[in-house]
């Protein structure tokens, strides 16, 4: 059977390799080098557009554990990454040229692969996986927008940072909405006049990310970065996202400023900083936002970003197995387009979309890895209705907390539970991790 994969990036290459190993004929359509994206520089497969780091290798962190899970499922690109690794402390960093070349060479081993170097402008003939990435080109975008219905395709990612609830210092925070409305949906982080002054100075002097040309002016109307608003005047934030009106501390005092955190998921394990969309570098976000007293030891699960990023309103249009709900025939979305964020997360969704497509073509029921695994939790996140959808990367806030009394034991507990549950899932569903 013939399967079309659109996009020879991280997700598309991973998906194609899985399907090739499974014996399908794959047509891989990649528009570069004929038509370039604003970020890619080569015509090579699996080009890393920015950093060369695939992040932590520590299996007791969410990003490290995701890698362990993907290896268990026979992930091709992580195997190639290991062969091109360059020293990077506790991270898996690669020689990006070698990584791309080796991915191309791996694909070229398969006689059941056809590569088409052209821009896909139509939804492919089914079955297919679309993995055209955050910079998906115009014609295909229009068709995707039509297919998924109005308002279900987003073009910019303007996200505020997200922290883990358990890392907030509750001795400096309190729950409640303005004027006593709302329960635990908002966590309020008050500041005294002095604390606000220190915070404001740091925020207005902090280093921001240099925007690439394609991120263009006028893009962020109505969605101003918090540091830009702060620069308008010392008190501007006090009339904006940090306004204290209607809020009293448990002691009945009126704070000078209040940063409000809003629940990001139903379980209340993650909170986002309301109104804190930002262009600060990640290091500066950590430094400056940790000056908010309740967040001094905050664990940042995701930093704020503002950049061109095309992604679907996945909770509305995708299943947790990355399948388009309204398509009668097998049509899957992989990579950043599906709302997973990050290199390894893109590889993950490419792999899981391919696993799911293979199962559908074999007449098997949809199977999503357990919620106790990082890959299963992230897959469920993208399909779950939880307010305004934002892309998400691997983090433990998505998983049910494990039984571990001490904080230091938590990483190992997540790890052991995940790999044991994933092994059972692979065996139970006869997912073929190692094709000959």
Ligand X SMILES: Cc1cc2nc3c(=O)[nH]c(=O)nc-3n(C[C@H](O)[C@H](O)[C@H](O)COP(=O)(O)OP(=O)(O)OC[C@H]3O[C@@H](n4cnc5c(N)ncnc54)[C@H](O)[C@@H]3O)c2cc1C
Instruction: Report the interface residues with ligand X, using CB under 6 A.
Output: 6-12, 29-32, 37, 39-40, 49-51, 119-120, 131-137, 140, 307, 309, 335-337, 341-343, 346
**Least distance (Å) from ligand X to the CB of residue 51?**
3
From the CB of 300, what's the least distance to ligand X, in Å? Answer: 15
* Helices 193-205/282-289 angle, 10° precision: 170
Task: Give the torsion through C-alpha atoms of 199, 205, 206, 212, to 10 deg.
Answer: 140
Pick the closer one to ligand X by CB: 313 or 429. Answer: 313
Q: Which is nearer to ligand X, 176 or 342 (CB)?
A: 342
Pick from 320, 322, 321, 284: nearest CA to 303: 284
Please report how close the Cβ of residue 343 comes to ligand X at its closest, in angstroms: 4
CA distance 30 to 28: 6
Distance in Å, CB of 73 to ligand X, minimum: 17
Distance spanning both ends of the chain, measured CA to CA: 19
Consecutive H or E run containing 259: strand 257-263
Comparing CB distances to ligand X, the nearer of 49 and 88 is: 49
Cβ contacts of 10 within 8 Å, gap of 6 or more: 46, 48, 77, 335, 343, 346, 347, 350
Kindly state the smallest distance separating residue 387's Cβ from ligand X, in Å. 22
Of 8 and 411, which has the nearer Cβ to ligand X? Answer: 8
To the nearest whole angstrom, how small is the minimum distance from the Cβ of residue 36 to ligand X?
Answer: 7
Nearer Cβ to ligand X (96/417): 96
Q: How far is 125 from 41, CA to CA, in rounded Å? A: 29
In which residue are the tokens 């899981």 written? 352
Enumerate the β-bridge partners of residue 3. Answer: 26
State which residue has the least CB distance to ligand X: 9
Q: Which is nearer to ligand X, 92 or 383 (CB)?
A: 92
Strand 270-273 and strand 257-263: pairing? antiparallel
Shortest distance (Å) from residue 19 CB to ligand X = 15
3-state DSSP call for residue 35?
coil
The number of residues making up the chain comes to 436
Q: Give the nearest distance from C-beta 54 to ligand X in angstroms.
A: 7
Nearer to ligand X, 137 or 188 (CB): 137
- Preceding omega of 77 cis (within 30 degrees of 0): no
Q: How many CB atoms lie within 10 A of CB 234?
A: 13
Q: Which is nearer to ligand X, 43 or 240 (CB)?
A: 43
Q: Name the residue nearer to ligand X (CB basis): 40 or 256.
A: 40
**Per-residue burial over 184-223, b = 16 or more CB atoms within 10 Å of its CB, e = otherwise:** eebbbbbbeeebbeebbebbeebeeeeeeeebeeeebeee
Tell me how far apart the alpha carbons of residues 200 and 324 are, in angstroms, rounded to a whole number: 45
Shortest Å distance, C-beta 340 to ligand X: 8
CA 83/CA 109 separation, integer angstroms: 17
């Amino acid at each position: 059977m013939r399967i079309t994969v659109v996009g020879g990036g991280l997700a598309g290459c991973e998906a194609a390799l899985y399907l090739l190993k499974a014996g399908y004929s794959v047509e891989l359509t990649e528009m570069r080098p004929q038509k370039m994206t604003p970020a890619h520089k080569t015509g090579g497969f699996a080009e890393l557009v920015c950093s060369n780091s695939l992040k932590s290798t520590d299996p007791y962190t969410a990003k490290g554990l995701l890698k362990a899970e993907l290896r268990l499922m026979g992930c091709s690109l992580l195997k190639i990454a290991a062969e091109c690794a360059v020293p990077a402390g506790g991270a898996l960093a690669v020689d990006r040229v070698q990584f791309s070349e080796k991915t191309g060479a791996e694909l070229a081993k398969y006689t059941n692969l056809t590569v088409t170097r052209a821009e896909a402008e139509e939804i492919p003939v089914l079955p297919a996986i679309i993995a055209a990435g955050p910079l998906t080109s115009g014609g295909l975008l229009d068709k995707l927008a039509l297919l998924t219905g109005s308002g279900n395709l987003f073009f910019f990612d303007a996200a505020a940072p997200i922290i883990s609830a358990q890392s907030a210092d509750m001795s400096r925070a309190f729950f409640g909405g303005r004027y006593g409305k709302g329960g635990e949906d908002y966590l309020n982080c008050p500041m005294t006049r002095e604390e606000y002054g220190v915070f404001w100075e740091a925020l207005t002097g902090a280093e921001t990310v240099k925007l690439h040309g394609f991120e263009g002016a006028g893009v962020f109307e109505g969605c101003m970065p918090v540091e830009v608003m702060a620069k308008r005047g010392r008190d501007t934030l006090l009339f904006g996202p940090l306004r204290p009106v209607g809020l009293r501390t448990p002691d009945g005092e009126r704070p000078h400023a209040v940063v409000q955190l809003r629940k990001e998921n139903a379980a209340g394990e993650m909170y986002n900083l309301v109104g804190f969309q930002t262009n600060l570098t990640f290091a500066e976000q950590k430094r400056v936002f940790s000056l908010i007293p309740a967040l001094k030891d905050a664990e940042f699960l995701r930093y704020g970003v503002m950049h061109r990023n095309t992604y679907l309103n996945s909770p509305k249009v995708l299943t947790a197995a990355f399948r388009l709900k309204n398509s009668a025939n097998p049509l899957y979305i992989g990579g950043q387009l599906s709302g997973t964020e990050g290199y390894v997360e893109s590889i993950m969704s490419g792999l899981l979309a391919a696993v799911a497509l293979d199962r559908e073509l074999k007449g098997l029921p949809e199977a999503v890895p357990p919620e106790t695994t990082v890959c299963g939790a992230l897959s469920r996140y993208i399909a779950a209705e939880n307010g305004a959808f934002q892309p998400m990367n691997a983090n433990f806030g998505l998983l049910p907390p494990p039984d571990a009394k001490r904080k230091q034991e938590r990483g190992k507990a997540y790890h052991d539970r995940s790999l044991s549950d994933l092994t059972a899932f692979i065996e139970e569903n006869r997912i073929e991790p190692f094709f000959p």
